[in-house]
Protein backbone atom coordinates (compact mmCIF):
# COMPACT_ATOMS: atom_id res chain seq x y z
CA UNK A 1 0.00 0.00 0.00
CA UNK A 2 2.82 2.38 0.84
CA UNK A 3 4.48 1.74 -2.53
CA UNK A 4 1.20 2.28 -4.37
CA UNK A 5 0.62 5.50 -2.43
CA UNK A 6 4.02 6.82 -3.50
CA UNK A 7 3.21 6.30 -7.16
CA UNK A 8 -0.26 7.84 -6.78
CA UNK A 9 1.09 10.91 -4.98
CA UNK A 10 3.91 11.37 -7.47
CA UNK A 11 1.67 11.03 -10.52
CA UNK A 12 -0.94 13.33 -8.97
CA UNK A 13 1.54 16.05 -8.05
CA UNK A 14 3.42 16.05 -11.34
CA UNK A 15 0.60 15.41 -13.81
CA UNK A 16 0.32 19.04 -14.92
CA UNK A 17 4.02 19.85 -14.86
CA UNK A 18 4.53 20.52 -18.58
CA UNK A 19 7.98 20.43 -20.17
CA UNK A 20 10.65 19.45 -17.67
CA UNK A 21 14.27 18.37 -17.39
CA UNK A 22 15.70 16.19 -14.62
CA UNK A 23 19.06 17.33 -13.26
CA UNK A 24 21.34 15.00 -11.30
CA UNK A 25 24.68 15.41 -9.61
CA UNK A 26 26.59 15.11 -6.39
CA UNK A 27 24.88 15.83 -3.08
CA UNK A 28 28.31 17.03 -1.88
CA UNK A 29 28.95 19.99 -4.20
CA UNK A 30 29.52 23.14 -2.19
CA UNK A 31 28.16 26.60 -3.03
CA UNK A 32 30.89 28.56 -4.81
CA UNK A 33 32.46 25.48 -6.41
CA UNK A 34 32.71 25.33 -10.20
CA UNK A 35 29.94 22.81 -10.71
CA UNK A 36 27.62 24.22 -8.07
CA UNK A 37 27.76 27.53 -9.94
CA UNK A 38 27.21 25.74 -13.26
CA UNK A 39 24.24 23.97 -11.71
CA UNK A 40 22.71 27.31 -10.77
CA UNK A 41 23.31 28.61 -14.30
CA UNK A 42 21.82 25.46 -15.78
CA UNK A 43 18.68 25.73 -13.63
CA UNK A 44 18.26 29.36 -14.66
CA UNK A 45 18.72 28.66 -18.38
CA UNK A 46 16.32 25.72 -18.30
CA UNK A 47 13.70 27.86 -16.57
CA UNK A 48 14.22 30.65 -19.10
CA UNK A 49 13.76 28.09 -21.91
CA UNK A 50 10.41 27.10 -20.39
CA UNK A 51 11.40 23.85 -18.65
CA UNK A 52 10.53 22.92 -15.10
CA UNK A 53 13.62 21.64 -13.28
CA UNK A 54 13.30 18.31 -11.42
CA UNK A 55 15.97 17.26 -8.92
CA UNK A 56 16.31 14.95 -5.94
CA UNK A 57 15.54 17.95 -3.75
CA UNK A 58 18.68 17.54 -1.67
CA UNK A 59 21.90 19.56 -1.23
CA UNK A 60 24.78 20.10 -3.68
CA UNK A 61 24.00 19.84 -7.38
CA UNK A 62 20.30 19.38 -6.62
CA UNK A 63 20.16 22.58 -4.59
CA UNK A 64 22.13 24.43 -7.27
CA UNK A 65 19.76 23.53 -10.11
CA UNK A 66 16.70 24.21 -7.96
CA UNK A 67 18.19 27.59 -6.97
CA UNK A 68 18.74 28.65 -10.56
CA UNK A 69 15.22 27.67 -11.59
CA UNK A 70 13.62 29.19 -8.50
CA UNK A 71 15.43 32.53 -8.80
CA UNK A 72 14.54 32.73 -12.50
CA UNK A 73 10.86 32.30 -11.67
CA UNK A 74 10.62 28.78 -13.12
CA UNK A 75 9.03 25.69 -11.63
CA UNK A 76 11.48 24.07 -9.25
CA UNK A 77 10.66 20.48 -8.33
CA UNK A 78 12.31 18.38 -5.61
CA UNK A 79 11.72 14.64 -5.35
CA UNK A 80 13.09 14.03 -1.88
CA UNK A 81 14.13 10.67 -0.48
CA UNK A 82 13.89 9.52 3.14
CA UNK A 83 17.42 8.83 4.33
CA UNK A 84 18.77 8.20 7.84
CA UNK A 85 20.81 11.41 7.60
CA UNK A 86 18.49 13.40 5.38
CA UNK A 87 17.99 17.09 6.10
CA UNK A 88 14.80 17.63 4.08
CA UNK A 89 14.16 19.45 0.83
CA UNK A 90 16.45 22.32 -0.06
CA UNK A 91 15.19 25.89 0.28
CA UNK A 92 14.68 26.38 -3.47
CA UNK A 93 12.04 23.70 -4.07
CA UNK A 94 8.57 25.05 -4.70
CA UNK A 95 6.94 21.76 -5.68
CA UNK A 96 8.08 18.86 -3.51
CA UNK A 97 7.24 15.20 -3.09
CA UNK A 98 8.92 12.90 -0.57
CA UNK A 99 9.61 9.25 -1.25
CA UNK A 100 10.68 6.29 0.86
CA UNK A 101 11.55 4.14 -2.16
CA UNK A 102 14.22 5.03 -4.69
CA UNK A 103 12.52 3.01 -7.44
CA UNK A 104 9.23 4.95 -7.16
CA UNK A 105 11.15 8.24 -7.15
CA UNK A 106 13.23 7.22 -10.19
CA UNK A 107 10.06 6.54 -12.16
CA UNK A 108 9.08 10.20 -11.66
CA UNK A 109 12.46 11.49 -12.85
CA UNK A 110 12.07 9.78 -16.19
CA UNK A 111 8.28 9.91 -16.67
CA UNK A 112 8.01 13.67 -16.35
CA UNK A 113 11.25 14.78 -18.04
CA UNK A 114 12.12 15.44 -21.65
CA UNK A 115 15.79 14.90 -20.97
CA UNK A 116 18.48 14.55 -18.34
CA UNK A 117 21.43 16.76 -17.52
CA UNK A 118 24.02 15.14 -15.28
CA UNK A 119 26.61 17.08 -13.30
CA UNK A 120 29.63 15.38 -11.72
CA UNK A 121 28.63 13.02 -8.94
CA UNK A 122 29.15 9.72 -7.17
CA UNK A 123 27.24 6.46 -6.81
CA UNK A 124 23.77 8.02 -6.68
CA UNK A 125 24.42 10.07 -9.81
CA UNK A 126 25.84 7.08 -11.69
CA UNK A 127 22.84 4.98 -10.69
CA UNK A 128 20.45 7.58 -12.09
CA UNK A 129 22.54 8.10 -15.22
CA UNK A 130 22.84 4.43 -16.13
CA UNK A 131 19.20 3.72 -15.49
CA UNK A 132 18.37 6.36 -18.10
CA UNK A 133 20.95 4.99 -20.54
CA UNK A 134 19.53 1.48 -20.13
CA UNK A 135 15.96 2.71 -20.71
CA UNK A 136 17.12 4.43 -23.89
CA UNK A 137 19.17 1.42 -25.03
CA UNK A 138 16.22 -0.94 -24.53
CA UNK A 139 13.84 1.56 -26.18
CA UNK A 140 11.70 1.94 -23.09
CA UNK A 141 12.14 5.62 -23.85
CA UNK A 142 12.96 7.01 -27.29
CA UNK A 143 15.12 9.96 -28.38
CA UNK A 144 15.75 10.88 -24.77
CA UNK A 145 18.64 13.37 -24.60
CA UNK A 146 21.17 12.67 -21.83
CA UNK A 147 23.77 15.38 -21.45
CA UNK A 148 26.79 15.21 -19.16
CA UNK A 149 28.28 18.46 -17.91
CA UNK A 150 32.05 18.51 -17.40
CA UNK A 151 34.25 16.99 -20.12
CA UNK A 152 37.26 16.52 -17.82
CA UNK A 153 35.27 14.84 -15.05
CA UNK A 154 33.47 12.44 -17.38
CA UNK A 155 36.45 11.64 -19.68
CA UNK A 156 37.60 8.45 -17.82
CA UNK A 157 34.07 7.05 -17.86
CA UNK A 158 33.64 7.88 -21.55
CA UNK A 159 36.98 6.19 -22.29
CA UNK A 160 35.90 3.10 -20.34
CA UNK A 161 32.66 2.96 -22.33
CA UNK A 162 34.56 3.23 -25.63
CA UNK A 163 37.79 1.37 -24.92
CA UNK A 164 36.39 -1.43 -22.78
CA UNK A 165 32.62 -1.79 -23.09
CA UNK A 166 32.53 -1.16 -26.84
CA UNK A 167 35.86 -2.85 -27.59
CA UNK A 168 34.74 -5.99 -25.71
CA UNK A 169 31.36 -6.01 -27.45
CA UNK A 170 29.36 -5.21 -24.34
CA UNK A 171 27.64 -2.23 -25.98
CA UNK A 172 26.94 -1.46 -29.62
CA UNK A 173 28.15 1.40 -31.76
CA UNK A 174 24.84 3.22 -31.44
CA UNK A 175 25.26 3.17 -27.65
CA UNK A 176 28.38 5.32 -27.98
CA UNK A 177 26.18 8.22 -29.07
CA UNK A 178 23.68 8.06 -26.22
CA UNK A 179 25.70 10.34 -23.97
CA UNK A 180 26.59 13.88 -25.02
CA UNK A 181 29.32 15.63 -23.03
CA UNK A 182 29.63 19.42 -22.83
CA UNK A 183 31.22 22.02 -20.60
CA UNK A 184 28.71 24.82 -20.69
CA UNK A 185 25.16 24.83 -19.33
CA UNK A 186 24.00 26.78 -22.40
CA UNK A 187 25.19 23.98 -24.66
CA UNK A 188 23.34 21.40 -22.53
CA UNK A 189 20.13 23.43 -22.82
CA UNK A 190 20.60 23.78 -26.58
CA UNK A 191 20.89 19.99 -26.97
CA UNK A 192 17.91 19.35 -24.72
CA UNK A 193 15.82 21.87 -26.62
CA UNK A 194 16.61 20.56 -30.10
CA UNK A 195 16.57 16.82 -29.23
CA UNK A 196 13.58 17.37 -26.96
CA UNK A 197 11.40 18.40 -29.88
CA UNK A 198 12.06 15.04 -31.50
CA UNK A 199 11.48 13.29 -28.19
CA UNK A 200 8.14 14.99 -27.52
CA UNK A 201 6.93 14.02 -30.97
CA UNK A 202 7.88 10.35 -30.61
CA UNK A 203 7.24 9.65 -26.93
CA UNK A 204 4.77 6.85 -26.16
CA UNK A 205 2.04 7.54 -23.56
Q: Which of residues 21-80 bind ligand LYK5OOP5 (CB under 6 A)?
A: 24-28, 56-59, 62
Judged by beta carbon, residue 29 or residue 136, the one nearer ligand LYK5OOP5 is 29
In the complex, minimum distance from the CB of residue 126 to ligand LYK5OOP5, in angstroms, rounded to a whole number: 7
> Which one of 66, 107, 125, 193 is in contact with ligand LYK5OOP5 (CB under 6 A)?
125
Separation of alpha carbons 80 and 32, rounded Å: 23
Residue 142 DSSP class: -
The helix (H) or strand (E) run that includes residue 79 is strand 76-81
Give yes or no for a contact between 119 and 150, defined as CB atoms under 8 angstroms apart. yes
Q: How many CA within 13 A on the CB side of residue 130?
A: 10
The size of the interface with ligand LYK5OOP5 (CB under 6 A), counted in residues, is 19
Judged by beta carbon, residue 23 or residue 47, the one nearer ligand LYK5OOP5 is 23
3-state secondary structure of 54: strand
> Which one of 37, 71, 86, 187 is in contact with ligand LYK5OOP5 (CB under 6 A)?
86
> Which residues of the chain form contacts with ligand LYK5OOP5 (CB under 6 A)?
24-28, 56-59, 62, 81, 83, 86, 121-125, 128
Amino acid sequence: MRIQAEFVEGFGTLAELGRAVSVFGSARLKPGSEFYDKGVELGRLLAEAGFAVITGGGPGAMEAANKGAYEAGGTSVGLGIELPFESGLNAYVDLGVNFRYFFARKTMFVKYAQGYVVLPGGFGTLDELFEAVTLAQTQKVTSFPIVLLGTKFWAPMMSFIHDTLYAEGMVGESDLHRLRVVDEPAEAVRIITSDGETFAATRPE
